[in-house]
Each structure stands twice: as structure tokens, then as C-alpha cells.
Amino acid sequence: MSRRVLIPAACVIPTIGIALFAGCSAEPLPQDLCHWLDDPNSCYATFSADVKAHCGTAIAQPVDANVEVLNETSGAFGARDTLDICVLNAGGTIIFDPPLDITTFPPTSVAFTITDQQGVSCGSGSYGGEFNYSLTVEKIDLKEDGCDDNWTGGEAKLADDITGGTFAVTQGEDRAAFDVSCPNGGDSFRFSTYNVSDAVVNDSGDLAPGACPSCAPLLPRAEFVSSPGVASLVSANSKAGYVRLRVYYPATSETSAAPTTLTDCPSASATSSSSSGTTPADGASDLNKAQCENPKNFIVEYFSCSIPAPPSPCEDGAKNNDETDIDCGGSTCAARCAAGLACKDASDCQSGSCALNAGVKQCS
């Protein structure tokens, strides 16, 4: 893998906001983020055009990530205490390794594998932050994988082979820069986020816009949201939890909002329309021009997994709130305590009698 590093002759860095990295050192200098985002042939744009929504589902924009959009990547875990496999409604699974732990929500990192209806890996990924993620999509050769002209499964055929590979973004403690690793042994880059900022401090100490703030929507980024769910005193009113991952790609003339399905020969036709009525990304016909003239995102959701709602505090098998014993007594829960269970006064007991027994108040 090669790393393109731009080092001016006398270690002079003219770009606004990059002075933080100045000096004649071995540390790679930030590269030209503006031109990379503006280039329809960047490895991020070509990866987007290649994989499209394969292994996931394109999401119409704008959509609040905390709002569920029912589609082929929607699924559910079987139990709150075992968050390792999310079974997708349309078939296939999301396997989390290590499993998620409901007691430590929100998760700070996740690693997952996406399998299709035959249990075959479609891709995998990891998330550790908006600019800390990786996504691998498995290569597909239509002829080798049996998706030839006679294949009739699924909603639509793949329009082309998928080269796939791994695209990765990493950001360390220095939040002003991030690294990009291109798929299949391609180039790697280090970029400064100052270029796309609305206001940065220039060499004169004044606030000024970065070199290309209009390109900011095209930054490679992932969005992970989660909730452990919300318990209610009435179990029917408790809200389910969820984990959800979306990746923001640059829209290209090759991408559309048609969802895929995780069959052995998934549908990812760039010209088909989805059952939810979404259409190819706005301005797609203009996207062979400079990207930043009309920045558009192509958003792909890779999973949206529901977690069973937490039990009511009056049905959780624990003594909490003002309960006098487990799930009974007190003013919070309707259940009264049976004989032999702890109480404070007669109103806590099914019998209406609370008395001392060996020095401890119990229902009698």
C-alpha cells in the first residue's frame, strides 16, 4: 500500500489551518482534502459506485438516524441479555463479535459480519466513531457465483460484478486530522478537517473559512446510534431498544436508492426502483462533474436491529424503587406481597396484615 505525502521543498505549508502540522519532521503532512472530495474518481467515490447499497439498504434523505426506517436491514435480537445475533426480517443475519452488552450502553465500539440468506458472508465492518470505521464488501463475480443470465432469484440482478474490498477511516486523538485507507491495496491518505471547516484561525490569528467548506457533506463518515430501550410501569408501554449503523458515501451517477436483499445473488441494480418508493439520488446525472459543486450523499444503512424492551420495574425480578419486596409492595407497583414477604405496613400485603416475625416485618 502506498502513501501519497506532499512535502513542499522548504517545509512551507501555505494552506489555512495546516500550520499545526508544520515542521521538517517524518510525520506525514495533511494532503489535499478539497481536491480528493471533489474528485469523482477518488477511491471513496469509486468504492461507492462499485458496492452501491450491496449488503445494506439505501436510505432516502434526510432521515433522522434515531427514527427507524423499516427495510431489508431491519431485524431483531432474540433476547436483551444475548446481543450477538440480529436476525434480519428479509433473511440473513448481523453477527456481533464480541456481543453487545446491554449494561454498558451506549457501545463505544462494535464489530460485525453481515451474512445472507444462505449464511454466506456478504461483508463485515467495525465502528469506533464518526471518523473511525471500516467496511469490507466481499467480491462478487457474476459468472463464478452463478448469477448468470439464467439466474432469476431476488427482485433484480446485479448490474455488474462487485470488486469490493475494505475502505477504512481512522482518527486518533488529534481530532483535526483523519486517515483514509483505500480498498484492495490502494493509496492511503492523511487529511486535515480544517479544510472543510466554516471558520478556522488563519496565520494572522483571524477567523476565516477553510479552503472548501462546501465539500463538508462529502466527508467519509459513519453514523451509529443506539438505545437500551425505556421501561414503563405498564409493560405494554415499554419501548424497545435498538442499534443502527449508516455510512455516508458520495452520491455518484452509478448509485441509486434501490435497496438490496441478502440473497445468494443480491439485487443491487442501479436502475431499479425500490418498493419503498425511493429514487436515485438527486443530481446523480450531474455527478460526473466536480462533486463539491452539488454535494449529495448516498446513505446506506447496514443494520437496524431491535432489542426487546426492558421489563417493567414491577416485573424485573429485582427489589427497586419503593418496593418492600421483589416486585411487590410500596406505592409504585400494583402487586401486593404474599405471606412471608417483607412489608412496611398492612397496605403492602395481600392479606392486609403486616406484623413482626423474628424481629422482621413480614406479611402474614
Task: Tell me the per-residue pLDDT of 289-331, one tens digit each, with 9 for 90 and over.
Answer: 466 777 888 899 999 999 999 999 998 899 999 999 999 999 9
pLDDT of residue 295: 81
Q: What's the CA gap between 220 and 37, in Å, rounded?
A: 9
User: Is the torsion defined by CA of 252, 253, 257, 259 positive or negative?
Assistant: negative
Give per-residue pLDDT as tens, 214-250.
888 899 999 999 999 999 888 888 999 999 999 999 8
User: Is the torsion defined by CA of 356, 361, 362, 364 positive or negative?
Assistant: positive
pTM (predicted TM-score): 0.74
CB-CB contact of 195 with 51 (8 Å): no
Report the relative pairing of strands 110-115 and 188-192 from DSSP bridges. unpaired
Among 169, 184, 182, 255, residue whose Cα is nearest residue 220: 169
Q: What's the CA gap between 195 and 197, in Å, rounded?
A: 6
pLDDT of residue 67: 65
Q: What's the CA gap between 67 and 75, in Å, rounded?
A: 14
pLDDT of residue 160: 72
pLDDT of residue 10: 31
pLDDT of residue 255: 66
pLDDT of residue 199: 72
Q: Name residues of the chain where pLDDT drops below 50.
A: 1-27, 148-157, 256-289
> 362 forms bridges with which residues in the sheet?
342, 355
pLDDT of residue 15: 38
Q: At 120, list the grid cell.
A: 454466506
